Amino acid sequence: MKKEKKLNTSSLSLLSIAGLEPYKEKQGEEYMNPKQLKHFELILKAWLTQLQDEMGKTVSHMQDEAANFPDPADRATQEEEFSLELRARDRERKLIKKIEKTLKKIESDDFGYCESCGVEIGIRRLEARPTADLCIDCKTLAELREKQMGM
């Protein structure tokens, strides 16, 4: 009896989208060496491709599904669905810009370090969120400040 490979339960994790395994650091390995940078470049490019594909599907879906329903309730339902889909695509458009900015940071060797304090962000955090530009401590402080300003 073969052991089944356990699938990642997080919906479409970035590593699985890119077809990669988590990066295994070697003892004494320099942080953000060319191998690590290539790992993150592959993740980001796969994510970018996936988002661009989804945007293309939305356009064709909306063109194919656009219908002039005589019933106002059906028409309203379709408009609401399109509105939700367009809002999601707008968020993805902003994310695409952030991914492109991050890819430029890889090219200029600025990737992987906190923009606020300059410390290493960390491989695991970057695998979970490759566009992260703050270390966990600075991000936590920023969120606390944001919360205080909002209240």
Domain boundaries along the sequence of the chain: 31-111, 113-151
pLDDT for 90-126, tens place per residue? Answer: 999 999 999 999 999 999 999 999 999 999 999 999 9
Please state, as a whole number, how many other Cβ atoms lie within 10 Å of the Cβ of residue 109. Answer: 11
Overall pTM surpassing 0.85 (yes/no)? no
Residue 114 marked as a ligand binder: yes
pLDDT for 1-23, tens place per residue? Answer: 333 333 333 335 888 888 899 99
CATH 1.20.120.910 fits 31-111, yes or no: yes
Residue 138 marked as a ligand binder: yes
